Amino acid sequence: MSPFGGTRIDSSNAFTHTGGGDFHVHLGTESQNPHGPAFHKVADDQLVWLRRMLVAPDNMGEARATLADTGTVILDGAPGSGRNSAAKVLLYEYHRESGVYSELVPGDDEQLPLHEPSLVGTGDRLLLDLSDAARWSASRAGLSTLRTSVHEKNARLVVVMPHRDTLDPDLQRFRVEIRRPPGRQVLRRHLRVHGLPYEQYMQQLDSEAEEFVAERPMREIADLADLVRRARASARPGDGLAQWCATARGARNDRREEVAGLVTRLPEAPQRALLVTVALLHDAHADIVHRAAALLLKALGPGSGEIPLLQHKDLAERLKEIGAGTDADGHVRFTELDYDSAVRAHFWDHMPDLRPYLDTWAADVVELDDPHLTPAVRDGLVARLAGQYLRTGRPEGLASLAENWSAESAAQVRLEAAAQALTRGLDDPAHGGTFRKRIYQWCAYNRLTAEFAQVLVQVCADVLASNHPDMALVRLYHLARRERGTTRALDALRALVAKSGRLHRTLLDRLTRYGGPTPPDLTIFLHVSDPELLTDTTRAARALVEEAGVRRSLTACWCAVLAGLPRTTWQPRAAAWLHRATEGADRVDASLLDVLVDAAEQGREKRGELFAALYAAARAAERTAPGGPVRAAETTGLLLHKIGAAQGLRPAGPPPSSTRGTRP
């Protein structure tokens, strides 16, 4: 990996859009916080949005009570009843400061088996979607063991099972069958959240709309609500809910033949360029559409010759030719609702040679310097282009697009577009797994530009970690090992493990698993080994530093640090450990000193030298101790006593008070 430059990708919060239409992820300034990316906020914001949208299905109260009483609920329900959304909302309601939200992926090579206790951390919120019959058959045997681990760790588990499938007798008491909520109520809730006033969303539906919402799955009702919202935005004055619903239903019709006929009637390159541009920049300002259409024509070939400028058709006339127009604010839309998606599909499917030009053109458009080119417009363009790759089953093409957009010296807005493209891929139900694996290959094996490495850090920390924190940890670990000139990956990794003792434990194990820590591993260790997190007893029954496995990992890492790195490198972290031991008054904080002494003792022939280095570090740390030099000197005395005990020079018990602060 080449050294990181000065380009920065920052991300603010994002939301899950449960309906159709555009989905925007705005990458802004919030993550400039030096404490690292707030990846956990993404998952929380998604769940907040989902909770606002959800109309509780029947028996939601029973499911909530079962989860509260037992820590586990197994949701049964017909497809389309909203069971997956209900599962996520149930877990959102149990948000705590400790633990992480995680969607388990049984059968994935990266995930531990369901019967493995270390799969569950204290306070974790786990979603296990086994609604697929094949996945249910393969995983149901491990549910009892998983439920036991969840109970022991004070975690929460929601399982979605196939409707009315067989369940083991010992798990029957956790089963709750939820039933589809009234479709009319679901539609009204979505319209209300979309901003329609009460007197509009409560209007009477026509018979076709009533029939639609009475029968269709929750996702299709959400899609209809989004179309109704958009139909209202472009409707004539005086139209009401019935007309908007009729327009929305019409937009669901197959328009492929209609669009094909329009393209046939528009043979000129400028006409088709404008048609494609409006479809990909729908609802953008006319100035942006005009400039983007000219860019596309330029990318595709020669211009329009020597025709005088005033003889050119104006934009209004050209838009009318393609069935589009501008609103009072100058934003361009097709006159027919959802026509833009049909146009995009037509050109993508029937002019495949156009695709590479669209990739380059989109990158050029996001870099345009124009006040009307807002983050929402940029993200909308990327989302629509990414949608064509995903719709046609070409996830690798979208992945390559993101990598190409992150070439060396790429502008920040282009890097943001690359992050948006990868976000779309990760969020896609059909291709999310492909993107997770592709990102792993990049992080672990590929030679990356500094710019693309930063994109991957951001996507792993702010997107992947939202639902799959273990996978994010592995990818950030690989990025951190190869990081040069910046601590962006290290900071993201530290922020991730700070939320979960289980993830912290997993990382420490990884640092020492394969023949001992390497120099890059030691850099990671010094960056993430926060003594406050290691001694925290508020989120779990005992502190991490008291666990035997964690203690072994910490000792091995400190031994390698003391023996292999100059003291100037590890002195700040050692000082933090010593200060924590000074501030604390119990055995947990004092155990930090035991780890340091044990690490030096493992140096064997060099242990005398390492003991001396530890003592010198403690003396230096006294000058910056928050509790003052007197208390710090007591800690130094305690450390010296433990060193003497390790050498067999003093008894192993606690030292007499007179020995604290003594000098050899």
What are the two backbone dihedrals, phi and then psi, of residue 152, each rounded to the nearest 5 degrees? -65, -30
Of 226, 251, 276, the one marking the end of a domain is 251
Residues 6+ apart with CB under 8 A from 101: 40, 43, 44, 47, 91, 95, 124, 125, 127, 466, 467, 469
Is 304 part of any domain? yes
pLDDT at site 310? 57
537 and 653 in a single domain? The answer is yes
Using DSSP, state whether 64 is helix, strand or coil. Answer: helix
590 and 656 in a single domain? The answer is yes
237 by Cβ neighbours in 10 Å (0-12 / 13-18 / 19+) ranks as exposed
108 and 129 in a single domain? The answer is yes
What value does the mean pLDDT take over residues 130-158? Answer: 95
631 and 657 in a single domain? The answer is yes
pLDDT at site 460? 97
Is 6 part of any domain? no
Is 165 part of any domain? yes
| Residue 82 Rama label (left phi>0; alpha psi -120 to 50; beta) | left
Is 342 part of any domain? yes
193 and 288 in a single domain? The answer is no
**Cα 219 from Cα 16, distance rounded (Å):** 13
Residue 654 has pLDDT above 80, yes or no: no
Range of the domain at 95: 56-177
- With a pLDDT cut of 70, the percent of the chain lying above it is 89
Residue 297 has pLDDT above 60, yes or no: yes
| Residue 85 Rama label (left phi>0; alpha psi -120 to 50; beta) | alpha
Residue 30 has pLDDT above 60, yes or no: no
Residue 127 has pLDDT above 50, yes or no: yes
Is 274 part of any domain? yes
**Cα 238 from Cα 280, distance rounded (Å):** 30
What value does the mean pLDDT take over residues 28-36? Answer: 35
What value does the mean pLDDT take over residues 591-599? Answer: 96
What the block records as the tokens of 632 is 């710090």
pLDDT digits (tens, 9 = 90+) for 542-578: 899 999 999 999 999 999 999 999 999 999 999 999 9
173 and 194 in a single domain? The answer is no
215 and 164 in a single domain? The answer is no
- Total domain count, the chain: 4
What value does the mean pLDDT take over residues 516-525? Answer: 95
Of 122, 154, 177, the one marking the end of a domain is 177
Closest C-alpha to 559, from 521, 505, 597: 597
Task: Categorize the per-residue pLDDT at 664 as very low, low, confident or very high, splitting at 50, 70 and 90.
Answer: very low
pLDDT digits (tens, 9 = 90+) for 480-520: 999 999 999 999 999 999 999 999 999 999 999 887 899 99
Q: What is the mean pLDDT of the chain?
A: 89
164 and 195 in a single domain? The answer is no
What value does the mean pLDDT take over residues 626-649? Answer: 90
We report the CATH number of the domain holding residue 63 as 3.40.50.300
Residue 88: count other Cβ atoms within 10 Å of its Cβ.
24
Is 461 part of any domain? no
Of 159, 177, 195, the one marking the end of a domain is 177
Residue 573's H or E segment, with its range, is: helix 567-583
pLDDT at site 109? 87
DSSP string, 518-561: -HHHHHHHHHH--HHHHH--SSSSS-GGGSHHHHHHHHHHHHHH
Closest C-alpha to 139, from 164, 117, 163, 108: 108
C-alpha of 324 from chain center: 36
Is 40 part of any domain? no
Per-residue burial over 433-457, b = 16 or more CB atoms within 10 Å of its CB, e = otherwise = ebbbbbbbebbeeeebbbbbbbbbb
550 and 657 in a single domain? The answer is yes
74 and 137 in a single domain? The answer is yes
Task: Categorize the per-residue pLDDT at 388 as very low, low, confident or very high, splitting at 50, 70 and 90.
Answer: very high
Residue 306 has pLDDT above 70, yes or no: no
**Cα 123 from Cα 470, distance rounded (Å):** 15
611 and 542 in a single domain? The answer is yes
What value does the mean pLDDT take over residues 81-104? Answer: 90
Using DSSP, state whether 72 is helix, strand or coil. Answer: strand
In DSSP terms, 331 is beta-bridged to 285
Residue 18 has pLDDT above 60, yes or no: no
Name all contacts of 441-446 with Cβ < 8 Å and 24+ positions apart: 442/403, 443/474, 443/475, 443/476, 443/478, 443/479, 444/475, 444/478
- CB of 570 within 8 A of CB of 562? yes
111 and 203 in a single domain? The answer is no
Is 278 part of any domain? yes
